[in-house]
Amino acid sequence: MDDIVKSGLAKIDWVSRFMPVINHLSKDFKKNQPLAGVRIAACLHLEMKTARFAMLLKEGGAEVALCPSNPLSTQDDVVAALNHLGIPTFAKHGCSREEYYEYVDKVLDIKPNIIIDDGADVTAVVHSKRKELLKDLWSVNEETTTGVTRLRALSKAGELKIPAIAVNDSMCKFLFDNQHGTGQSSWDGIIRTTNRLIAGKTVVISGYGWVGRGLALRARGLGADVIVIEPEPVRAIEATLNGYRVMTMNSAAKQGDIFVTATGNKDCLRKEHFETMKDGTMIANSGHFDVEINIEDLDGLAQEVNELKPNITEYKMKDGRRIYLLAHGRLVNLAAGDGHPAEIMDMSFAIHAIAAKYVTENKGKLEIKVHNLPKTVDTEIASIKLKAMGIETEQLTAEQKHYMTSWGEGT
């Protein structure tokens, strides 16, 4: 066996040990074959937890093909292992934009019944260039906030042609993956890339959605002074009451040592901010697309650009200040790290597996709109997870259950 395959298999074996919900579903999928004959095209970050998930789909009887959801998140040894395991995977770390869309086309050639997307790129392709595939499709199941935002825009424009499942919007996804997953994995990517101390630094988090909340929480835990940038008023109050300094990016630009964007929007860091940043400022992005930091503006201002080491680009300004861009502005947790911890992706991918089963059971019956999964899915996954964590929870007495569903007992 090639060393690269061995390395990928060893990674998959390691994380599989910490994915009890997936392993629980695996027994059921192997026995009952809920996805027998279902063709699934998945566009995901091709790292070890994703590989375990693809194996689960195959164990459930599906025909699976994979392509990357970001050019820099692919781990070539995991790709080699997946192909070795008989799961066709089309990807290469650092692929060009053209190659990226070639890989998308290749997975679409299986004529999928279900698309599992992370960022809605494949969804966009089947709604534009490959519309002939829509007739075979039962649903698109979306992993991330950015992808769900795109799906809702597609639906609002009256252009959504197949049912969509907002996996991201399940509580066992956004509460844990977006918040605690990104909270840990982004700092992991930043720290392992830079080998710098976070304690004592001023960290600026742009965006106070679930990802921003996690980033801010962990930055504070590491000893940073945290500033939050959030235009939405309710979230801005929440950040303030959680103890962070809330201000405009123009004010924060002069104060921050490390900036991390997590808004899903473009140009959060741009020319006017780079012009006032301190010498040595580090900037990174945790959002899905590399649009949050305007790299063209950085290029335009810089007198010199140097690749100092993998994932650290130095922009030397005319006045001598240096700004360090991490991971080329791509999502720092995957481009400069391994993505979310195994225990987190365990739940996210379990929701995807149940979503694929749900769509298969309901094929042809789902309305063409963006659906949330039933709340029972969250309860089921959380219950399996708690059991695996050895946590026994309080159970309501019959009297308590009755009280919670009646109106008679008051003052």
| Residue 44 interacts with ligand ADE (CB under 6 A): yes or no | yes
Cβ at position 247, least distance to ligand ADE in Å: 29
The SS3 assignment for 88 reads coil
Q: For residues 252-271, which are near ligand ADE according to CB under 6 A?
A: none
User: What does the block give as tokens for 56?
Assistant: 């689960």
Cβ at position 348, least distance to ligand ADE in Å: 7
User: What does the block give as tokens for 168?
Assistant: 């991201």
Cβ at position 141, least distance to ligand ADE in Å: 13
From candidates 150, 340, 352, 371, binder to ligand ADE by CB under 6 A: 340
- Using the contact rule CB under 6 A, the part of the chain among 23-31, 43-51, 196-204, 356-364 near ligand ADE is 43-51
Q: 217-231 as b/e, with b when 16 or more CB fall inside 10 Å? A: bbbbebebbbbbbbe
The SS3 assignment for 215 reads helix
Closest CB to ligand ADE among residues 257, 290: 290
Rounded Cα gap, residues 11 and 238, in angstroms: 39
Closest CB to ligand ADE among residues 141, 202: 141
Closest CB to ligand ADE among residues 133, 211: 211
Closest CB to ligand ADE among residues 211, 370: 211
Q: How far apart are the first and last CA of the chain?
A: 73
Closest CB to ligand ADE among residues 74, 294: 74
| Residue 48 interacts with ligand ADE (CB under 6 A): yes or no | no
Q: For residues 106-165, which are near ligand ADE according to CB under 6 A?
A: 118, 143-144
Closest CB to ligand ADE among residues 227, 260: 260
Q: For residues 173-202, which are near ligand ADE according to CB under 6 A?
A: 181, 185
Angle (CA) 43-288-198 rounded to 5° is 130
From candidates 9, 11, 39, 50, binder to ligand ADE by CB under 6 A: 50
**Is residue 137 a contact partner of residue 114, using CB atoms and an 8 Å limit?**
yes
The SS3 assignment for 139 reads strand
Rounded Cα gap, residues 186 and 217, in angstroms: 12
Distances in whole angstroms, Cα of residue 254 to Cα of each of 86, 129, 203, 277: 52, 45, 12, 5
Closest CB to ligand ADE among residues 133, 354: 354
Cβ at position 20, least distance to ligand ADE in Å: 17
| Count of beta carbons in the 10 Å neighbourhood of residue 411 | 2
Cβ at position 202, least distance to ligand ADE in Å: 26
Q: Which H or E element spans position 286?
A: none
**Is residue 20 a contact partner of residue 311, using CB atoms and an 8 Å limit?**
no
| Residue 52 interacts with ligand ADE (CB under 6 A): yes or no | no
Cβ at position 346, least distance to ligand ADE in Å: 11
Cβ at position 361, least distance to ligand ADE in Å: 25
User: What does the block give as tokens for 229?
Assistant: 């940038």
Rounded Cα gap, residues 326 and 307, in angstroms: 10
Task: Give the interface with ligand ADE as residue ranges (CB under 6 A).
Answer: 44-45, 47, 49-50, 118, 143-144, 181, 185, 333-334, 339-340, 345
